[in-house]
Structure 1
Amino acid sequence: MRAGARGYDTGGLKKISAAVLILGGTAALIAWLLTRPAPPREVPFARAVRRQIVSTITTNGKLEPVEFTVVRGPRDGAVIRLLVERGARIAAGSAVAELDSAEARTELEAARARLAQILAEQAVFEQGGQRSALTQAANAIARVQVDLDHARRQAASLEKLVAARAEPAASLDEARQRVRALETDLEAARQQREALIPTGSRESWEARRKEAETAVEAARRRVETATLLAPVSGYVYNVAVRPGSFIRAGDPVVEIGRIHELRATVYVDEPELGRVAVGLPIRITWDGAPGREWRGTVEKRPTQIVPFQSRQVGEVMCRLPNEDGALLPGANVNVEIQTHVAADALVIPKAAVRRDSQGAGVLLLAGDRVEWRSVRLGASSVTDAEIAGGLREGDAVALPTEGPLSPGERVLPRFP
């Protein structure tokens, strides 16, 4: 029994010892896993290299012709037809729209009728009146005058006879009534003749004629201006009305421009305006013509700051050639203004530049770790930044990573 007890105790001790060893090894492994340094993170890097860098302001703008003409309504009226559409190329003298001319044609007919009447009346004046009518009136006056003379003589004879009591007084009264009636007829005949003779001077008739001719000419112009013509050859880049629209005199109808040269209104944010100068080159691209680009220059700096969408901008005026007419007025374009060119600059990717409370810097590769290095920036483009101080050619700088990267952190550099 004693020997068996000792055997049992020996086996138990062995198992306990094995368990202790396993637990100790596990604890040591866990401790090592917890205390071992983390493997370095793989981080993309880029090297500082020397090459040309073009500093640019990237923004947007809108195109319009340098030379353009606005066809305006010559008078009030309704647009009955539009004869062009936006994008059409037209020649000078081509009809672009028609206004309602019914009222103007009525006015023209009335003015012509009035002129014809005045010309006829003036001819009568020049001839002293209508000859046949005047002759008839003169003959009527003469007849009445003869009858009147005869009646007066009869009345005079009757006055003597009545005085001599050779005729009754009633005969004299009848004769005198006859004289008065003929005098009335004679006055009426003379007035009728006067009515046939036009009144006024030659100057007044000339004035009436000229006034009527002016009215005819004005009505004729109103009819002619019902058809609106293009004053220049070019491209229709805006149509401001629709058929049926009522316009006032001076309202814009169609805008025509010569598009061999265009002006770009470029919207530059206020903080960037200090970099803009007259004569700087620009590069324009348009989503409507992928793969193409156009070159131009800054023509005029802005004179004020204006709101544009959610931005405060200055409107920089630029000019560019458009010989083949591929760019269209009114197009919204992408614009790069080249503000500075450095031919042999030390350049790193713009994305590698970081900022802290003291200014710009980079995370520089030093051995297997990164360290903060303050830098002085020069020109910049859309993708690159010039380093004017703080780095040397060949230095490796960290590019952005998914998580934050801190100075002193071990890294596994990866170069593209």
Structure 2
Amino acid sequence: MKLFGRRNLILFLVLLAVAIGLYVRRRIESSVISVKVARATGGDFVQTFRTNGVVEPVEFREVRAQFSGRVIAVQVREGDRVRAGQSLARLDSSDVRAEFAQARAQLLEAEQALAKIQNGSARNQLEAQIAQAQADLALADSNRRRDETLLKQRAISQLEFDESSAAYEKASQRLAALEKERATQLQHLDPLSEEEAKARVQQARVLSENARERLKATEAPAPLAGTVLVAPPRAGTLVSVGDLLAKVGDLDRLQVRAFIDQPDFSSIQPGSHVQITSNGFPGDIWQGTVTLLSAQLTALGKRVVGEALCSIKAGRDRLPVNSNVDLTFTSRELHGVLLVPVDAVLQREKRNYVYVVEGGMLHLREVQIGSSNADFVVVKSGLEANQMVLNDLEVQPREGMRVVPRS
């Protein structure tokens, strides 16, 4: 009886121990949570941002009204190919023609006034001729007086004396004619100086040339060979100075004008890479490069933006001019850095932490981080490559929590 009781007691104790072990095991197993994890990996980091832009020709020119008037004829339509200088539209030119005629008349008058003053060089020549004539007259008078004495002494003949007298009369008449010509010129002398007259001619030429250009502008000539992007307003339209008449561009070379918000604008520079997409071509991606940045920021609706011109490396002929596109800029590239998913980093009191999975448990560890994008964070210190970190937003982690990792 005692033996039977002892055996039952031993059996009971064994069963109790097994039950307790199973209970403890189940409690332990029930406290272990399956969590998503990721490994810290070395690699390349790319930081990007998105914005919008518009496709335009690399080279295009606007034709604007240089004076107020009415459009009397339209020569082209949007999409037409034109040559440089070809008339795009004609404006009423009656007032401009009158202005040009007046400017030409003023130029002619100024040139005539200058010509009169510049005849002063002829006066200098005349003065030299008068001086020579005076010398010739003095010599002729001396010869005549000498021959008169010789004639009285009968040393020369009357014929020889008459020749001396005739030479004197001729020299006297020559001098009188030159002095009369000088008096006539002095009566018609212009009071302007030569420099003043030249300035008036130059001013008149500028006015005449401006009037000529304005007359040409009544034909609204194409500034370059290309395609009409914006056609002139219809005939009968009244335009003012500065109004857009037409826009012509070379469609053989296209670019994208991007509008970049102020915080992102400083992160790019000429040569930065950009990807271009269009809703009109789903799935297609064009590669590009920043070629030029605007010097100033400007207001665009409620945004403050800078402008960037971006070249298109391939497939540019499929993007319509003036179409809106989306752009993804590469603002930073880092090579050979340690990366963890964005969701793995926790911020507490302005410090950054990750939960490292070691020995089936979570351990909180402070890390120093750098740049980040939508997917990854650069870890500068506090973590080593290939270490496993918690990456599960559905878990409320705590120090020492037992976990089962899953990808």
Report the counterpart of residue 313 of structure 1 in structure 2. Answer: 305
1:322-341 alignment runs, 5 A limit:
324-341=316-333
1:70 deviates by: 0.7
1:69-148 alignment runs, 5 A limit:
69-73=61-65, 75-79=67-71, 86=78, 88=79, 90-93=81-84, 97-99=88-90, 104=94
1:99 deviates by: 4.5
Q: Letter of the aligned partner of 1:314 in structure 2?
A: G
Cα deviations across residues 276-295 of structure 1 (Å, max 9, x unaligned)? 33333333223333333333
Q: Letter of the aligned partner of 1:298 in structure 2?
A: V
Q: Letter of the aligned partner of 1:387 in structure 2?
A: V
Inter-CA distance 46–36: structure 2 relative to 1 (3 Å threshold): closer
What percentage of residue pairs aligned between the two structures are identical?
26
- Cα distance in 1 between the residues matched to 2:232 and 2:342: 46
**Secondary structure at 2:318's aligned position in 1?**
coil
Report the counterpart of residue 296 of structure 2 in structure 1. Answer: 304
Cα deviations across residues 302-321 of structure 1 (Å, max 9, x unaligned)? 53343444444333444445
RMSD of equivalent CA atoms: 4.3
Inter-CA distance 269–365: structure 2 relative to 1 (3 Å threshold): farther
Residue 278 (structure 1) aligned to one of 261, 267, 270: 270
Contact 2:88 2:222 in 1 (8 A): no
Q: Letter of the aligned partner of 1:92 in structure 2?
A: R
Aligned: 1:349 with 2:331: no
Contact 2:82 2:228 in 1 (8 A): no
Cα deviations across residues 68-126 of structure 1 (Å, max 9, x unaligned)? 1112235433446656555x25231596754465x859x89xx9xxxxxxxxxxxxxxx
Q: Letter of the aligned partner of 1:247 in structure 2?
A: V
- Cα distance in 2 between the residues matched to 1:306 and 1:400: 43
Report the counterpart of residue 383 of structure 2 in structure 1. Answer: 391
Report the counterpart of residue 9 of structure 2 in structure 1. Answer: none
- Cα distance in 2 between the residues matched to 1:307 and 1:38: 60
Residue 406 (structure 1) aligned to one of 394, 397, 405: 397
Contact 2:73 2:89 in 1 (8 A): yes
- Determine which structure has more spread, i.e. the larger CA radius of gyration: 1
Unpaired runs of 5+ in structure 2?
1-23, 102-207
- Cα distance in 2 between the residues matched to 1:66 and 1:42: 57
Report the counterpart of residue 292 of structure 1 in structure 2. Answer: 284
Unpaired runs of 5+ in structure 1?
1-31, 112-214
Report the counterpart of residue 195 of structure 1 in structure 2. Answer: none
Aligned: 1:365 with 2:357: yes
Contact 2:91 2:219 in 1 (8 A): no
**Secondary structure at 2:328's aligned position in 1?**
strand
TM-score, L = length of structure 2: 0.52
Report the counterpart of residue 247 of structure 1 in structure 2. Answer: 239
Aligned: 1:56 with 2:48: yes
- Cα distance in 2 between the residues matched to 1:406 and 1:96: 76
Residue 226 (structure 2) aligned to one of 234, 250, 266: 234
Aligned: 1:257 with 2:257: no
Report the counterpart of residue 126 of structure 2 in structure 1. Answer: none
Contact 1:260 1:323 in 2 (8 A): no
Contact 2:64 2:243 in 1 (8 A): yes
1:155-304 alignment runs, 5 A limit:
228-239=220-231, 241=233, 245-304=237-296
Q: Letter of the aligned partner of 1:333 in structure 2?
A: V
Contact 1:353 1:360 in 2 (8 A): yes
Inter-CA distance 227–304: structure 2 relative to 1 (3 Å threshold): closer
- Cα distance in 1 between the residues matched to 2:230 and 2:372: 38
Inter-CA distance 59–373: structure 2 relative to 1 (3 Å threshold): farther
Report the counterpart of residue 170 of structure 1 in structure 2. Answer: none
Residues paired across the two proteins, number? 272
